Chain A
Amino acid sequence: MEIDSGNTAWLLLSAALVMLMTPALGFFYAGLVGKRNALSTLLHSFFVLCLVSVQFVLWGYTLAFGPSQGGLIGGLDWLGLAGVGQEPFPDYAPGVPHLAYMVFQMMFAVITPAIITGAFAERVSFKAFILFTLLWSTIVYAPIAHWVWGIGGWLRVFGALDFAGGTVVHISSGVSALVAALVIGRRLNRTEPHDATMTILGAGLLWFGWFGFNAGSALAANGLAANAFVVTNTAAAMGALTWLTVSWIHRGQPSALGAALGAVAGLVAITPAAGFVNIPASIVIGLGAGTICYLATLLRPKLRIDDALDVWAVHGVGGTWGAIATGLFASVAVNSAGANGLFSGNPELLVKQVTAIAATWLYAGVMTAVIVKVIQLTVGLRVGETDEVLGLDRSQHGEIAYQVD
C-alpha cells in the first residue's frame, strides 16, 4: 500500500506533540506540590516517558493493538514490534507506516500512568512508583486500550465512541488515581502549591500538545482533524473561563490556578468527543467541564482521600463527563464513521457510552486496588515518615530543585 506523505507527516508531528505533554504534565504537577517535592514530581513524569517508551515497544503495543484475543486483549504476535514496520497496517491507519501509528499510540500509553502520579505525590517511594507504572501499563492500560481501539475490542465492536482517549486515558487514570490515593493513605502534611507560574506554564504546554492528541487522532491531515483541533481549543478555553468564574462565585476571587485547571478539565472532556461533535457543542462541553470538575474538587475533603493533585476530579470526572457528552452531542454530520447521539435522535449511543464508562471505572478501579495492595505487601508503597517530612527530592534522589545562594 502506498504511503500518504501528508498524513504520515501529520501523525509523526502529532506523536511529537503528545510526547511533549508528559514533561508538560510534570511541570503542571510540580508547581502544585511543595518545593521539597518539586524535582521528584517532575521526575515521575519524565521517568514514565522513558519507562513506558521501552515497555510499549517490547510488549505494550502488542497487548493493546495486536490481533484480538476474544475482544479482551491483543495477542503476542507483535511482541518486540515483530512485524510492525514501514508498511501501513490499513485496519488501523491506511496510508501511514505501521510504526508511525505505533509511536503515536505509544505517547498515549506514556502519559496515562504519568497522570496518576499526581494522586500519590509527595509520599510514594520511587521503587513502588516504578513497579506500579510497569504493572498498571500492562494490566490496566493495555486491555482497556484494546477494548476501545483494538480491532475486535469488545467496546469497539459494541459501538462505544472514544475519539482520543476519554475512557482509555482519562477515566482509567482518574479512577486509578482515586483508588491508589485511598490505599496509599494521606500525606502527613498538606502542602500549598509552591510555584503557580510553573503550573500555568505546564497547562499551556499541555494545551499545545493536546492538538496532537485530539487532532492527530483523525490519523489524517483532513477536515476531521481540523474539526478536532477547533473543538479542542474551544473547550479548553471554555473550561478555563468557567472554572475561573465558578471559583470566583464560590471564593470571591478569580483564581489563576483555577484557569489552568479549568483549561485542562475542558481538554479532558473534549477528548472523547473531538471527532464527533461540532463547535457549539464544544462550548457546552467546556462549560460543563469547568463546572462539574470544580464541584468534584470540593468533594475531596469530604471523601477524606488525599488525591494530592485532584487527578480524579479533573481526569476521572472530566473524562466521564466527556464520554457522556459524546453520547449526547455526537453527530454523523461531523463524522460519518461515528454515530448520532441523543440530541440527534439516537439514545442508544448514550447507553453504549454509559456501558463503556462503567466497564472502565470498574476494571481500572479493581485492578488498580489489586496492584497497589500487592506492592504495599511486597516492597512497600510509602517512604518513611522522616523521609516524607524531609521531602522526596532529598530523601529519594539526594537532590533539591532549587539552589539558593
Chain B
Amino acid sequence: MEIAAFASFAVLVIAWIVLPIRTGVPVAATKAPSTLPEAVAA
C-alpha cells in the first residue's frame, strides 16, 4: 500500500511538470453592472 501511495503522488508530480498549460483561451465576456436595474436585468 505504501508503494501505491508514493506512486500515486509521484504520478501527479510528474504530470504537473510535463503538462503544458493551454493559454490564450478566451473567458466568457463579463461586464460588471453599474446600476441596480442593470444588475437585475443582466
- Contact A403:B36 (CB < 8 A) given known A192-B28, A245-B16: yes
Residues of A close to B25: CB separation below 8 A: 252-253
* Chain A interface residue bracket vs B: 20 to 34
CB pair B36–A404 under 8 Å, yes or no, is: yes
Residues of B close to A284: CB separation below 8 A: 1, 4-5, 8
CB pair B21–A404 under 8 Å, yes or no, is: no
Contact with B along A276-312 (1 / 0, CB 8 A): 0011110110010000000000000000000000000
Residues of A close to B4: CB separation below 8 A: 280, 283-284
Give the residue among B4, B8, B15, B28 with the most A Cβ atoms within 10 A.
Answer: B8
Residue on A with the closest CB to B25? A253
CB pair A241–B36 under 8 Å, yes or no, is: no
Q: Does A163 contact B (CB under 8 A)?
A: no
Q: Binding site of A, secondary structure by majority: helix, strand, loop or mixed? A: helix
How many of chain B's residues have a CB under 8 angstroms from any CB in A? 24
Q: Does A16 contact B (CB under 8 A)?
A: no
Expressed in whole angstroms, the minimum distance between the Cβ of B3 and any Cβ of chain A is 9
CB pair B8–A238 under 8 Å, yes or no, is: yes
Bound Cα distance from A248 to B15, whole angstroms: 9
Residues of A close to B21: CB separation below 8 A: 248, 252-254
Residues of A close to B12: CB separation below 8 A: 241-242, 245, 287
Expressed in whole angstroms, the minimum distance between the Cβ of A158 and any Cβ of chain B is 26
Find A405's partner among B2, B15, B36, B40 (CB 8 Å cutoff): B36
Bound Cα distance from A404 to B39, whole angstroms: 7
CB pair A283–B9 under 8 Å, yes or no, is: yes
Find A343's partner among B1, B28, B39 (CB 8 Å cutoff): B1
CB pair A402–B39 under 8 Å, yes or no, is: yes
Bound Cα distance from A403 to B37, whole angstroms: 10
Contact with A along B1-42 (1 / 0, CB 8 A): 110110011001001100111100100100011111011101
CB pair B1–A280 under 8 Å, yes or no, is: yes
Q: Does A188 contact B (CB under 8 A)?
A: no
Interface residues of A in 343-379 (CB under 8 A from B): 343
Interface residues of A in 201-258 (CB under 8 A from B): 238, 241-242, 245, 248-249, 251-254
Residue on B with the closest CB to A283? B5
CB pair A252–B22 under 8 Å, yes or no, is: yes
Residues of A close to B19: CB separation below 8 A: 245, 248-249
Q: Does A139 contact B (CB under 8 A)?
A: no
CB pair A245–B15 under 8 Å, yes or no, is: yes
CB pair A404–B35 under 8 Å, yes or no, is: yes
Q: Beyond the given A245-B12, A343-B1, A400-B40, please list 10 additional residue pairs across the A-B interface where CB-CB is below 8 A.
A: A245-B19, A248-B15, A249-B19, A251-B22, A252-B25, A280-B1, A281-B5, A287-B12, A402-B39, A404-B36
